[in-house]
Structure 1
Amino acid sequence: MSSRLIFWISNSVRILLVAMGTAAACYMWGTVIGLLLGILAMASLVLVQLFYLQRLADWLDHPTSSRLPDGWGAWTDIFSRLYKLRRGDEKNQTELTEWLARFRQAMTLLPDGVVIMDDVLFLEWCNPAAERHLGLSLTKDKGMRVTNLVRSPEFMDYIILGRYDTPLTLSFRDRKLIAHIIPFENRRQILVTHDVTESERIDMMRRDFIANASHELRTPLTVINGFLEIASLQPDLDIPTRNAHLKLMSEQGERMQRLVEDMLTLTRLESMDHLLRTESINMRGLLEQILQEAHALSAGRHKITLDCQGPDIRGSTDEIRSALTNLVTNAIRYTPEHGEIQIQWCNAPQGPKFLVIDNGIGISPEHISRLTERFYRVDKSRSRETQGTGLGLAIVKHVLLRHNANLFIDSVPDQGSKFAVQFPPAIVIDA
């Protein structure tokens, strides 16, 4: 049975009861008294209805399920239904609030910038990524026109032309962004920004690496192919000339091998799948091995000393050996004959420290910040003489990054250089 039918039946019954009561009163006490009593009874019913209408009006001003009034008669069913509707609305509102909170949290965590604007480009909301990309502030800039906040001719042209089907590549605030405006609803638009600065930098590094590697490999290959062509065209070359050619080809082949090995080492160090496997490293034993290799490379042309006073550490033995050997090898290669090279391993308040100090040719200040770049050379002709690959310090940088260590370079031209590796205290093995 519907609520409307119940309402009409209940009110009809009350009116019928009043009419029957009035008729009975007229029969018992006369017509005048009976009609007066009937009028009073009807007035009471009307007053009751007005009372509950007033309570309903008061509730509608502040509709909460907790303060919904109780009813009488048909009003009981009306208030009961209102209570159910209100509870349903409160549940839906709670769910909507939670959904909006989750949505905003998800938008906040997005790496891409999201800006919500109205149809005239006034800022309504943006996430932290958009604040970083475009220099916006939601608390300060809300309600302001986005084109007044993002002052870029490229962005203005993109807005004016309105060709939103094609993304815009935008250089802004030392970042390279891909911006795309997506209209939604009738009076709102979404601006999405994607930061490609890092990917562009990595692509450029990759292109430079391939170009430099190709250049480095081209020289020894040209030498080897040239001598092979000579050998094939002149099979009767005298033995001293042929031996000289073979020696040069062997040197260039070894140079290519070192280059390929260094490139493979760099690739392995940069790989996310190549996990750091730490072990106990006997630093005195490791440094004595490096000292022996240094003496062999120097062949008596330098004075090389070792002072080992530092502790043993935990790390990758192969990686640490490679990094420290590269630093010592560079010192030998760029220190003239009869020069002096000091190798030191000591403990410091900031953690254990490795130093290589030489009195060699030194490095100009403008080159120091770029020394760890791949294939970067201060003097290319000098590097060819010393048979360097140009990747040694890049390998050192990546090894130290994996061990949370830092490289410090102090050098003065024609006076010498000091390369210091500062390891963190946590790497030390307690005695």
Structure 2
Amino acid sequence: MNPKLVFWVPAALRTAIILAACALAGWMFGWKTGLVLALLAMIALVFTQLSYLYQLSNWMDDPQSAKLPDGWGEWTNIFARLYRMRRDDEKNQTELTEWLARFRQAMHLLPDGVVIMDDVLFLEWCNPAAEQHLGLSNDRDKGMRVTNLVRNPDFMDYIILGRYEQPLTISFRERKLIVHIIPFENRRQILVTHDATETERIEEMRRDFIANASHELRTPLTVIVGFLEIAAQEGLDAATRASHLKLMTEQGHRMQHLIEDMLTLSRLESVDYPMRPEEVDVHKLLEQVQRDARALSAGKHEVTMSVDGPNVLGSYEELHSAFGNLASNAVRYTPAGGKIHLVWKEYEGGVKFVVEDTGIGISPEHISRLTERFYRVDKSRSRETQGTGLGLAIVKHVLLRHSSTLQIKSEAGKGSSFIVCIPKTAVVAQQPELLPG
């Protein structure tokens, strides 16, 4: 139906009914009475309209669907339509509020920094990651120019040139950041920051690992190839040939140990080889570690052992590899006549395996880097003792798989202590002994 008819027909009918009633009263009681009643009826109608207009004006100051007044006549339809519109607005506003809260939560959890700027680079909003990356504060710096807050020459050039097709890599606040500006809407820009510090560190470690592994393999290969070329020549006496074969065998074993350690590290880091915990007989394990250490020492050191603690859950082979590496390092870096003591003991937080030696010790600046691959405090001594440079890296990865930690206490010239802390959750509860009878 035509909306105009919907409005005017009921209004005309109501007016006609009122005038008809007044005319009837005038016919019955005189025309003056009819006019007075008609005037009063019109005044009442006007007052009613003004009253509803006043209520509508008050409601507009605080438009809530629950406070919308009821009406009479056409006002019933008006208020009903306003109620539906306000209810829909409130529903939309609630949904928008929820979506905005979700957006802010997502932006807060996002590892990348997000900065929203206007067309003249004034800060409008940023998430916590951007605050951490760029040193911004959403509360303090809002409304300030970003170029005044991020003082970096490369970043300034990037902004001035306006070539936003490619991201920019900068060093800022001891971080390696990848920043990218993305224009959107007419007067807005988004600055996205990605912290590539860890990626850069991993890439550097990868390059160092390849370079070090290549260097470690090249040395024995050079020796072997050189001796093979000499052996191909005629006229070598038996003693010289035997000496060369001995040296080639030693270098071959060195390459073999290096490759075995590299494969061990690869397996420890691979998700395809999950650890299958089992009860580890610690006494048996440490006896084997002690025998291996004594065999490596060849009687040059005093290797003792003390076991006073429970068994643990873990991988026997991996723990043997870790504990064996710690014990063999102690043998290699302890001068002949020194002492090496292996200790297994319980403490409040779990159990500890300690390797104490009276060796050459380690300076403080080297301790934090000892578990890096191929890192050596004394490269010449390490090669003399046939170390691969991967032992402590293997120890670190084994302990990570066992939720354990390694502590190193050492002082140059006064020996070292390597302490493995295994958590209480890995301790196997001891069964009570049954008394005879």
TM > 0.5 between the two?
yes
Q: Secondary structure at the match of 2:369?
A: coil
Cα RMSD over matched residues? 2.0
Which residue in the other structure is 1:122 paired with?
122
Which residue in the other structure is 1:175 paired with?
175
**CA pair 20-366 structure 1, distance change in 2 beyond 3 A:** closer
1:376 to 2:400 alignment: no
User: Structure 1 residue 16: deviation in Å?
Assistant: 2.2
1:237 to 2:239 alignment: no
**CA separation in 2, counterparts of 1:410 and 1:51?**
88
User: Structure 1 residue 327: deviation in Å?
Assistant: 1.0
Query: Which moves more between the two structures, 398-407 or 254-263?
Result: 398-407
**CA pair 352-37 structure 1, distance change in 2 beyond 3 A:** closer
Which residue in the other structure is 1:262 paired with?
261
Which residue in the other structure is 1:339 paired with?
338
Q: Secondary structure at the match of 1:151?
A: coil
Q: CA-to-partner distance for each residue in 1:122-180, whole Å, 9 max, x for gaps? A: 22221121121112222333333322322222222222222222212121111111111
**CA separation in 2, counterparts of 1:88 and 1:364?**
72
User: Structure 1 residue 226: deviation in Å?
Assistant: 1.3
**CA pair 349-31 structure 1, distance change in 2 beyond 3 A:** closer
User: Structure 1 residue 86: deviation in Å?
Assistant: 1.3
Query: Which moves more between the two structures, 174-183 or 197-206?
Result: 174-183
User: Structure 1 residue 343: deviation in Å?
Assistant: 1.7
Contact kept in structure 2, 1:178 and 1:196, CA below 8 Å = yes
Matches within 5 A, 1:58-137: 58-137=58-137
Matches within 5 A, 1:381-400: 381-400=380-399
**CA pair 236-43 structure 1, distance change in 2 beyond 3 A:** same
Q: Secondary structure at the match of 1:138?
A: coil
Which residue in the other structure is 2:423 paired with?
424
**CA separation in 1, counterparts of 2:91 and 2:240?**
94
Q: Secondary structure at the match of 2:230?
A: helix
**CA separation in 1, counterparts of 2:46 and 2:407?**
94
**CA separation in 2, counterparts of 1:369 and 1:56?**
74
User: Structure 1 residue 111: deviation in Å?
Assistant: 0.9
Which residue in the other structure is 2:151 paired with?
151
**CA pair 89-413 structure 1, distance change in 2 beyond 3 A:** closer
**CA pair 360-31 structure 1, distance change in 2 beyond 3 A:** closer
Q: Which amino acid aligns with 1:150?
A: V
Contact kept in structure 2, 1:355 and 1:419, CA below 8 Å = yes
Structure 2, unaligned runs of 5 or more: 431-437
Query: Which moves more between the two structures, 411-420 or 168-177?
Result: 411-420
User: Structure 1 residue 3: deviation in Å?
Assistant: 4.2
**CA pair 85-180 structure 1, distance change in 2 beyond 3 A:** same
**CA separation in 2, counterparts of 1:3 and 1:49?**
20
Q: Which amino acid aligns with 1:106?
A: A
Q: Secondary structure at the match of 1:254?
A: helix
User: Structure 1 residue 70: deviation in Å?
Assistant: 1.1
Contact kept in structure 2, 1:116 and 1:125, CA below 8 Å = yes
**CA separation in 1, counterparts of 2:355 and 2:63?**
79
**CA separation in 1, counterparts of 2:317 and 2:98?**
53
**CA separation in 2, counterparts of 1:131 and 1:407?**
34
Q: Which amino acid aligns with 1:312?
A: N
User: Structure 1 residue 2: deviation in Å?
Assistant: 4.2
**CA separation in 2, counterparts of 1:273 and 1:126?**
40
Q: Which amino acid aligns with 1:314?
A: L
**CA pair 248-45 structure 1, distance change in 2 beyond 3 A:** same
Query: Which moves more between the two structures, 411-420 or 62-71?
Result: 411-420
User: Structure 1 residue 29: deviation in Å?
Assistant: 4.0
Structure 1, unaligned runs of 5 or more: none
**CA separation in 2, counterparts of 1:383 and 1:261?**
17
**CA separation in 2, counterparts of 1:314 and 1:225?**
46
Matches within 5 A, 1:10-409: 10-232=10-232, 234-409=233-408
User: Structure 1 residue 30: deviation in Å?
Assistant: 4.0
**CA pair 87-412 structure 1, distance change in 2 beyond 3 A:** closer
**CA pair 361-26 structure 1, distance change in 2 beyond 3 A:** closer
Contact kept in structure 2, 1:125 and 1:142, CA below 8 Å = yes
Contact kept in structure 2, 1:6 and 1:74, CA below 8 Å = no
Q: CA-to-partner distance for each residue in 1:193-238, whole Å, 9 max, x for gaps? A: 1111101100000000000000000011111111222223x14433
User: Structure 1 residue 326: deviation in Å?
Assistant: 0.6
**CA separation in 2, counterparts of 1:126 and 1:204?**
31
**CA separation in 1, counterparts of 2:186 and 2:13?**
54
Q: CA-to-partner distance for each residue in 1:28-62, whole Å, 9 max, x for gaps? A: 44444433333332232222222222222222222
Contact kept in structure 2, 1:179 and 1:194, CA below 8 Å = yes
**CA separation in 1, counterparts of 2:195 and 2:288?**
47
Q: Secondary structure at the match of 1:144?
A: coil
**CA pair 350-4 structure 1, distance change in 2 beyond 3 A:** same
Query: Which moves more between the two structures, 3-12 or 18-27?
Result: 18-27
Q: Secondary structure at the match of 2:11?
A: helix
Query: Which moves more between the two structures, 14-23 or 59-68?
Result: 14-23
Q: Secondary structure at the match of 1:141?
A: coil
User: Structure 1 residue 184: deviation in Å?
Assistant: 1.7
Query: Which moves more between the two structures, 358-367 or 187-196?
Result: 358-367
User: Structure 1 residue 381: deviation in Å?
Assistant: 1.8
Contact kept in structure 2, 1:404 and 1:424, CA below 8 Å = yes
**CA separation in 1, counterparts of 2:255 and 2:349?**
40
Q: Secondary structure at the match of 2:120?
A: coil
Query: Which moves more between the two structures, 134-143 or 380-389?
Result: 134-143
**CA separation in 2, counterparts of 1:350 and 1:38?**
97
**CA pair 305-6 structure 1, distance change in 2 beyond 3 A:** same
